[in-house]
């Protein structure tokens, strides 16, 4: 079987673009409208996407935002939402974001194990460390943990969660009505984890998930982030503006994974892409211009500042002038550098910069016909820049419908994408192996001696 492109879809009901909710074709209450999310999930499944992906934060995100402008200030908790959506779909995966800094591993492990059970093996966990003091202040802290500590904690957290998922062996349940043995006590294990941040006995009170482990996803771009991703992630979500940057990242991640003794093919690198699709280039450009015109200037400035972690206050500078020079400071360094790179490369004014960034917050924006867009996706896919893509439709539902109706058939025509789901679980569809249970492996090894 030839290698196929993997596709995730970022579908926050309020739309990805900062002005998406103002689009005449979008429901203004999409962010909190269950029926609309059900419709999106069904469309994504019709388009044979691997997974529905949702980012998540643990604050209303007012810091740096325009007062009262954001459609993302309030929405669903993703695992609860996905459990509800799963009843309306059969094959689509669900990748939910959850925090290693503000959730206990025992709770997180069982929540995702439950989602995996409820969906019949379609769950994924996007591991985040949750930045920002605004979030910390919702959790009895004044400031967030330092970057390095957040990542060290994340590393332990993922370890604990994985060990908890393995605490029941797959064949632990006997359910023998005759003898009264419900499970084999020798096939369920305390994990007795003792680390710097966590001390967890186990076992989990949820069976081993259908997938063994829900698919582990990561999006770190910093050194610590890349290291965590290479060590733990099976899917990596990443933002690149051009092929060479994506290739550098792809090579780096695969090399880091190999250095840790992992098979690089077991780590899928999936850059984000925000597409504006038209039957003609003019139609695509018109869609871009239409959406872009809906951004209020104060919203655009707040967006740039928010992306840069509050280090880029452009209030007072002429919107149609250049980005003023400024030193890169601590906090969201990689995002600050990315923003300046975009401005420099395109020679953008401040207005053009926020218009550009607003479409996908630093991800690759493609404005074109099915042919030109698929040309780019194919080039990235076949030249060691991507194993697939996370699609961020700028507004909904039309941005997703355009992709399913126009891009998917072209990908299929070129043999780059599936024409039906290969498997029942997210892992099967992504072509990722089901993790072996270490307890079972140890027993088998012993028996073979």
How many other C-beta atoms can be found within 10 angstroms of the C-beta atom of residue 258? 13
Question: Which residue in this structure is represented by tokens 């910069």?
Answer: 353
Q: How many residues are there in the chain?
A: 449
* C-beta closer to a second copy: residue 294 or 328: 294
Q: How far is the CB of 215 from a second copy (least distance, A)?
A: 17
Q: Which is nearer to a second copy, 139 or 348 (CB)?
A: 139
Sole residue written with tokens 């203004």: 28
Q: Is 332 left (phi over 0), alpha (psi -120 to 50) or beta?
A: left
Specify whether the CB–CB gap between 122 and 92 falls below 8 A.
yes
Measured CA to CA, the distance from residue 175 to residue 232 in angstroms comes to 34
Residue by residue, what is the 3-state secondary structure of 194-237?
ECCCCEECCCCCCCCCCCCCCEEEECCCCHHHHHHHHHHCCEEE
CB of 125 to a second copy, least distance (A): 13
Q: How many Cβ atoms sit within 10 Å of the Cβ of residue 433?
A: 12
Cβ closest to a second copy, residue 83 vs residue 406: 83
At 304, list the tokens: 């740039």
Q: Is 97 annotated as a binding residue?
A: yes
CB-based burial of residue 176 (10 Å sphere; 0-12 exposed, 13-18 middle, 19+ buried)?
exposed
For residue 251, the minimal CB distance to a second copy (Å) is 37
CA separation, residue 43 to residues 252, 363, 388, 402 (Å):
34, 23, 19, 11
Provide, rounded to whole angstroms, the least separation between the CB of residue 190 and a second copy: 9
Name residue, tokens 């099915």.
Answer: 370
Q: Residue 423: name the closest of 173, 95, 51, 78 by CA.
A: 51
Residue 137 or 251: the one with the smaller Cβ distance to a second copy is 137
Q: In Å, what is the CA distance from 277 to each residue of 40, 282, 291, 401?
A: 18, 10, 13, 10
3-state percent helix, strand, coil for the chain, nearest multiple of 5: 45, 15, 45
In the complex with a second copy, which residue's Cβ is closer, 13 or 309? 13
Least distance between a second copy and beta carbon 62 (Å): 8
Query: Within the chain, what is the greatest distance between any pair of CA atoms?
Result: 80
> Least CB distance from residue 87 to a second copy, whole Å?
4
Determine whether the annotation assigns residue 56 to a binding site.
Answer: yes
- In whole angstroms, how close is the CB of 107 to a second copy at the nearest point? 7
**Residue among 281 and 296 whose Cβ is closer to a second copy:** 296
At closest approach, how far in Å is the CB of 152 from a second copy? 15
37 annotated binding-site participant: no
Cα of 122 vs its chain's centroid, Å: 15
Q: Which residues, at least 6 apart from 440, have a Cβ–Cβ distance to it below 8 Å?
A: 169, 170, 171, 187
Strands 93-99, 173-176: pairing is unpaired
* Residue nearer to a second copy on the CB measure, 182 or 324: 182
Is 147 marked within a binding site?
yes
Question: How many H helices and E strands in the chain?
Answer: 16, 13
Instruction: Tell whether 119 is in a known binding site.
Output: no
Tell me the closest approach of the beta carbon of residue 98 to a second copy, in angstroms: 9
210/225 with CB nearer a second copy: 210
* Complex with a second copy: residue 4 or 66, whichever CB lies closer: 66
Annotated binding site for FMN: 56, 97, 147, 151, 222
Annotated binding site: 56, 97, 147, 151, 222
């Amino acid at each position: 079987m030839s290698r196929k492109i993997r596709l995730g879809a970022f579908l926050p009901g309020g739309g990805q673009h900062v002005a998406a909710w103002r689009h005449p074709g979008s429901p203004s209450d999409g962010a909190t409208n269950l029926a609309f999310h059900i419709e999106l999930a069904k469309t994504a499944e019709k388009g044979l996407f691997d997974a529905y992906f949702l980012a998540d934060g643990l604050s209303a995100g007012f810091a740096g935002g325009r007062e009262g402008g954001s459609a993302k200030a309030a929405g669903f908790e993703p695992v609860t939402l996905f459990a509800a959506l799963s009843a309306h779909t059969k094959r689509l995966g669900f990748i939910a974001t959850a925090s290693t800094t503000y959730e206990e591993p025992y709770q997180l492990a069982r929540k995702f194990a439950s989602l995996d059970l409820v969906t019949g093996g379609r769950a994924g966990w996007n591991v985040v460390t949750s930045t920002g003091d605004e979030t910390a202040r919702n959790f009895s802290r004044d400031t967030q943990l330092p970057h390095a500590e957040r990542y060290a904690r994340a590393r332990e957290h993922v370890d604990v969660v994985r060990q908890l998922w393995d605490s029941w062996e797959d064949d632990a349940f006997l359910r023998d009505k005759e003898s009264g043995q419900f499970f084999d006590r020798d096939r369920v294990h305390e994990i007795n984890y003792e680390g710097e941040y966590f001390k967890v006995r186990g076992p989990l009170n949820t069976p081993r998930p259908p997938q063994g482990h829900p698919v582990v996803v990561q999006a770190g771009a910093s050194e610590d982030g890349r290291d965590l991703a290479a060590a733990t992630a099976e899917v990596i979500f990443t933002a690149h503006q051009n092929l060479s940057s994506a290739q550098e990242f792809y090579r780096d991640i695969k090399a880091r994974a190999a250095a840790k003794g992992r098979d690089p093919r077991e780590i899928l690198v999936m850059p984000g892409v925000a597409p504006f699709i038209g039957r003609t280039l003019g139609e695509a450009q018109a869609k871009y211009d239409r959406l872009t015109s809906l951004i209020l200037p104060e919203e655009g400035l707040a967006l740039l500042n928010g992306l840069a972690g509050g280090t880029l206050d452009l209030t007072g500078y002429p919107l149609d002038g250049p980005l003023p020079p400024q030193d890169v400071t601590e906090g969201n360094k990689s995002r600050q550098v990315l923003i300046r790179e975009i401005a420099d490369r395109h020679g953008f004014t401040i207005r053009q910069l926020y218009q550009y960034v607003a479409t996908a917050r630093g991800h690759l924006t493609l404005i074109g016909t099915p042919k030109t867009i698929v040309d780019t996706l194919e080039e990235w896919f076949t030249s060691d820049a991507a194993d697939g893509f996370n699609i961020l439709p700028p507004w909904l539902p039309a941005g997703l419908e355009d992709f399913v109706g126009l891009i998917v058939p072209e990908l299929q025509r070129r043999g780059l994408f599936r024409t039906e789901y290969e498997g029942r679980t997210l892992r099967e569809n992504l072509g990722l192996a089901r993790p072996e249970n270490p307890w079972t492996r140890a027993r088998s090894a012993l028996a073979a001696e």
